[in-house]
Amino acid sequence: MAPLKTPLVPRPDLMSGKPSLIGLTREAMADALKEKGVPEKQVRMRVSQLWHWLYIRGVSDFDAMTNVAKDMREMLKAHFTIARPEIVEEQVSNDGTRKWLLRFPPRGAGRPVEVETVYIPEEGRGTLCISSQVGCSLTCSFCHTGTQRLVRNLTAEEILAQLLLARDRLGDFPGTDTPPGAFVPTGERKITNIVMMGMGEPLYNFENVKTALLIATDGDGLSLSKRRVTLSTSGVVPEIYRTGEEIGVMLAISLHAVRDELRDMLVPINKKYPLKELIEACRRYPSLSNARRITFEYVMLKDVNDSLEDAKLLVQLLKGIPAKINLIPFNPWPGTNYQCSDWAQIEKFADFINQAGYASPIRTPRGRDILAACGQLKSESERMRKTERLAFEAMMIAGHGEDEE
């Protein structure tokens, strides 16, 4: 299907400079309303109304809040926005994968920025991959996203807006329709799982990610189960502990090597937080069990990390940790020096790990025809151009978190 071009829906409010109510905690929303003159005795009720309309009904227009008095709606319109980001481009793969290029307004003296969000429909689940930063400060040598410098962190609003917009486009709010011919799971929800695996290192934007995920899992709103939300990190050890204690979602680790000297090269954050510290943080992650396993991502690089000796060391490294190991065939990008492991070698590697008692699915490439392919999300936000822009590989997204009942 041909991409839909920009903007699908004009968003004049985005450039107004008004603060958004999306992404605020209840306490912050209450403070914002009080500042604009809402009487103290009404604030709790007004916050409850807004929360319902934003996160249960999914409205993006104050006038749609039919049980809110007109003068209150006028005040809200004058001072706040709940607009979605602009959709620069929407693409739909032959396999049903959807990719949105979204534009957010400038912050301070900055410029508008663009990020990509990817939706993967699977049997019994629909997984949305969300970005946490524009660009990335990490320089993982096999990852195309790492070739773009970090522009800025996304706000809690911008992180959450990716979920709201995707639910809009998929007809996943009450009273809305799924697009004709769309691949979506059967059941009430089109988006059942979310993964923080888009652009950026989410644990380098901890507070905004925390706020967004706690709103996404709030039982009185969007109500996603924490067992169906997965946060992926390259190994920011102090914030792994905080993630377990303060957010409580599922954890995925971009591992990719089992020896420090190799991981220092592939995932340079390893120089700051080496394998011993990373694995200890994983062992101490709260509520670990066979039902709440940590996922370890392992990209298969020919003659680099794919030997049976690597497989043996991997099993030893993870001994005693309830874990699943996702094996990801490397998808080359222009300028890379790496190659994908031979398929026979990937299968040997997987068989060894399976025999050791670990699930080790080999991820099937998804969304290649729309360049939704692994470690390759790259936006050219700083230049506002889309040359060389690639989405990261959708096969890395699939299969995270608990299945639908």
SS3 assignment for 378-396: EEEHHHCEEEEEEEECHHH
pLDDT at 165: 97
For 83-103, write each residue's pLDDT tens digit: 999 999 998 888 888 999 999
Please state, in angstroms and rounded to a whole number, the distance separating the CA atoms of residues 231 and 213: 9
pLDDT at 63: 96
Per the prediction, the chain carries an average pLDDT of 86
- Across the range 322-332, mean pLDDT stands at 90
pLDDT at 290: 87
pLDDT at 105: 87
Q: Which of 116, 158, 239, 297 is catalytic?
A: 116
When pLDDT is cut at 50, 70 and 90, the band that residue 397 belongs to is low
Amino acid at 184: V
The answer, yes or no, to whether residue 313 has pLDDT greater than 90, is yes
**CA-based nearest residue to 79, from 22, 40, 31, 32:** 32
H/E stretch holding 88 = strand 86-92
pLDDT at 176: 84
Q: What percent of the chain has pLDDT over 70?
A: 82
Q: What does the block give as tokens for 136?
A: 């990335």
Please state, in angstroms and rounded to a whole number, the distance separating the CA atoms of residues 199 and 220: 29
When pLDDT is cut at 50, 70 and 90, the band that residue 148 belongs to is low
The binding site consists of 136, 140, 143, 200-201, 232, 254-256, 331
Please state, in angstroms and rounded to a whole number, the distance separating the CA atoms of residues 144 and 157: 26
For 103-134, write each residue's pLDDT tens digit: 998 876 578 899 989 999 988 899 999 999 98
The DSSP bridge pattern shows strands 86-92 and 193-196 to be: unpaired
Please give the backbone phi and psi of residue 17, each rounded to the nearest 5 degrees, phi first.
Answer: 85, 0
CB 227 within 8 A of CB 405: no
The binding site for [4Fe-4S] cluster consists of 136, 140, 143
Please state, in angstroms and rounded to a whole number, the distance separating the CA atoms of residues 53 and 84: 14
More confidently predicted of 74 and 151: 74
Give the relative orientation of helices 308-317 and 343-355 as an angle to the nearest 10 degrees: 30
Please state, in angstroms and rounded to a whole number, the distance separating the CA atoms of residues 392 and 199: 8
116 among known catalytic residues: yes
Q: Which of 157, 282, 374, 393 is catalytic?
A: 374
pTM score, whole prediction: 0.87
The binding site for S-adenosyl-L-methionine consists of 200-201, 232, 254-256, 331
Please state, in angstroms and rounded to a whole number, the distance separating the CA atoms of residues 211 and 196: 13
- Across the range 246-271, mean pLDDT stands at 95
Q: What does the block give as tokens for 169?
A: 């486009």
The answer, yes or no, to whether residue 385 has pLDDT greater than 50, is no
- Across the range 163-177, mean pLDDT stands at 92
Q: Which residues contact 87 (CB under 8 A, 6 or more apart)?
A: 4, 6, 7, 8, 9, 100, 101, 102, 103, 165, 169
Instruction: Using CA atoms of 182, 186, 192, 193 in order, give the dihedral in degrees to the nearest 10.
Output: -70
